[in-house]
Amino acid sequence: MVAVSGPSHPSTGGYDSPDQGRQLRDDTRGVQWTLEAFLAVLLLLAALVVVASVLPLGTQQADAELAQTQLQQAGDDVLDLAAAQGDLTAAVLYWNTSAGVFIDAEASFTGHPHYVTFDGAGTHPLAALLNDTLGERPVAYNIHIEYENETGPGVTEQRPVVYQGPPGGDSVTASTTVLLQADDVPRVSAGNCTLAELDNSSACGSEVFYAPGATGVTATSRYTTVQIQIELWRV
């Protein structure tokens, strides 16, 4: 018998058809695009998280800097106004030479009587100004007078005028100098003594002034220069 076979087909040799290869490439490219899109979304989300975390910090820092700038301006304005009205010199001389304290000061800090606050109707030279400018604000302040003590040149001492507590972290300090003359007289002096006379231990008995005079003070010369500092912070 003779076996009859049908038409033979050429062998593909184990390889896919061109259509199958094209489909595989298209599927691979689609997966790649999907991964790239997913990574892009992840990067965008990460960027948004970073921006969201940085913005509040930047805003808070800007607000804090603005608040400090406003406090600094308030301190400078208070001192400028007081100087223009002659109140700074009057505040430095608002002293009772017999009692050895600022007039009517009661509270004590480091052994020095001082004020805690001023009533707007008070007689202290700075009372009305401080009450008008800072009285309605959520601001606390300390005022000190700094001067060279008797230890030697360049050695200074601070005397509190107003003390309202330790300053906060946002505190700022404004300062200015006041020149005292030898013939200036403190506000309360039993013997109506000048600063030059008070600097002479035998001239006015037991009356005293807190800031010593510069070397070589005479009756008509410069007595000394002191610095008034106001420290402000928000409460």
Query: What pLDDT does 45 receive?
Result: 74
Which helix or strand (DSSP H or E) is residue 51 part of? helix 18-84
Q: Tell whether 149 is covered by a domain.
A: yes
Indicate whether 98 pLDDT > 60.
Answer: yes
Query: What pLDDT does 44 receive?
Result: 76
Surface-to-core class of residue 131, CB atoms within 10 Å of its CB (0-12 exposed, 13-18 middle, 19+ buried): middle
Q: Tell whether 203 is covered by a domain.
A: yes
Number of structural domains found in the chain: 1
Parent domain of 88? 66-234
Q: Tell whether 54 is covered by a domain.
A: no
At 162, is the secondary structure helix, strand, or coil?
A: strand
Cα separation, 139 vs 233, in Å, equals 6
Task: Write out pLDDT tens, residues 32-43.
Answer: 667 677 777 777
At 90, is the secondary structure helix, strand, or coil?
A: helix
Task: Write out pLDDT tens, residues 160-216.
Answer: 999 999 998 889 999 999 999 999 999 999 999 999 999 987 889 999 999 999 888
Q: Tell whether 148 is covered by a domain.
A: yes
Q: Token pair 């940085």 is at which residue?
A: 54
Answer whether 0.85 is exceeded by the pTM.
no
